[in-house]
Amino acid sequence: MKGIILAGGSGSRLAPMTSAISKQLLPVYDKPLIYYPISTLMLAGIREQLIITTPRDLDSFKALLGDGSSLGMSFTYASQESPRGLAEAFIIGRDFVGNSNVALALGDNVFHGSGLGTQLTSLANLSGAHIFAYKVSDPENYGVVEFDQNGKVISVEEKPLSPKSNFAIPGLYFYDNKVLDIAQAVEPSARGELEITTINNEYLSRGELFVQILTRGTAWLDTGTPENLLAASSYVKIIEDRQGYKIACLEEIALRQGWTTNTEIRQYVDRSPENSYFNYIRKILNE
């Protein structure tokens, strides 16, 4: 399975912070926001990842992440000229995905929870589409999934004025290779966007859409507003301070996954400054 991270958009809700920089390069506590979706896909066992961003920000992401080789990974980059909807990610990334299954993660979503990696790894060889649901108080701001009394999915709507449930669809989607052709056929919605909901409804009509409710022990944070960005930073700081480990430390995940070696990571951190993030990695290398 390959992974796509959609890190484009105008970031208008975070202006003026995003007037000169991508919101995915803004900090969530002690690391750039983009680290969090990258780490989520890494926990799913995905080593090949495509970062889609704006032409303006492309070089900044390359400077931050490089080609991924030091992590035993591969980062590829592509630009999205304007935000035309989530489904466009599969059109832009068609050659990258090739014959593989694919996961799409939104660049401004943070996921964290015990057992999340095991849950995601099981989707590597899926057939059909697998998305998640998360109970929220403001479902009108998200894609919404409706279940019948037996827990079967009966509808998926994009930001409905009158939501049929309180279950929002977080920005993490897993699809088989059919998604490439489905996305190619998507027509712009009334909002002028290629909606991911159209893809999900196509899988639903085929009887191939599977929805899993994220457990209460899993946190999902959408960082699209200043308030939510601050809340995410506070959450990460509290967890890291209390539990003594870092969330979304790419180097640690790569080591735990066996994708890189202590020697390779040590060469990298030896060139890095003395601070809490890199000192944490040094501590892991000395265990």
pLDDT at 11: 75
pLDDT tens, 261-285?
999 999 989 888 899 999 999 999 9
pLDDT at 78: 97
DSSP-based three-state secondary structure for 117: helix
pLDDT band at 240, cuts 50/70/90?
Answer: very high
What mean pLDDT do residues 146-173 have? 92
Residue 157 confidence (pLDDT) above 90: yes
Residue 247 confidence (pLDDT) above 90: yes
What does the block give as tokens for 189?
């919605």
| Cut 0.75: pTM above it | yes
DSSP letter at 99 equals T
Q: What CA–CA distance (Å, rounded) separates 70 from 9?
A: 28
pLDDT tens, 82-134?
888 999 999 999 999 999 999 999 999 999 987 777 778 888 789 999 999 99
Q: What average pLDDT is seen over the chain?
A: 93
Q: What CA–CA distance (Å, rounded) separates 239 from 118?
A: 20
Q: What angle do CA 173, 177, 179 make, to 5 degrees?
A: 60
pLDDT at 215: 78
pLDDT tens, 35-71?
999 999 999 999 999 999 999 999 999 999 999 999 9
Residues 6+ apart with CB under 8 A from 10: 18, 83
Element (H, E) at 236: helix 226-243
- Report domain extents, the chain: 2-127+169-248
pLDDT at 30: 95
Torsion of CA 120, 171, 29, 78, to 10 degrees: 100
Which has more confidence, 26 or 123? 26
Report, at the CATH architecture level, how domain 2-127+169-248 is classified.
Answer: Alpha-Beta Complex (3.90)
